[in-house]
């Protein structure tokens, strides 16, 4: 059973055409991806967080892939 419980996530893409100085050609595109995850260790000490950190790789990869897919 996975320790990861995603409560919500968001993707944001911003296109900057001009922000002081000469206009960008091509425009600058910036993106961010965030996820709110339930903390299974809230309220107690956990000496080894590495298994939890390892499980975060898959949802992190999925968010990054979804963000880059939207850039094409």
Sequence spans of domains, the chain: 6-69
Give the model's pLDDT for residue 54.
Answer: 94
Look at residue 21 in the predicted model and tell me its pLDDT: 87
Q: Coil, strand or helix: which one is 51?
A: helix
Indicate the helix (H) or strand (E) that contains 27. Answer: none
- Give the whole-angstrom CA distance, residue 35 versus residue 21: 34
Split at pLDDT 50, 70, 90, the class of 70 is: low
Residue 34, both tokens: 């965030």
Over residues 23-69, the pLDDT tens digits come to 989 999 999 999 999 999 999 999 999 999 999 999 999 999 999 88
SS3 50: helix
Q: Taking the model in full, what pTM does it have?
A: 0.72
pLDDT band at 20 (very low <50, low <70, confident <90, very high): confident
């Amino acid at each position: 059973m996975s320790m990861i419980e995603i409560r919500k996530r968001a993707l944001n893409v911003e296109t900057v055409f001009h922000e002081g100085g000469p206009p960008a050609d091509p425009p600058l595109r910036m993106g961010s991806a965030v996820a709110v995850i339930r903390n299974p260790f809230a309220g107690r000490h956990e000496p080894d967080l590495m298994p939890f950190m390892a499980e975060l790789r898959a949802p992190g990869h999925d968010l990054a892939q979804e963000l880059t897919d939207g850039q094409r």
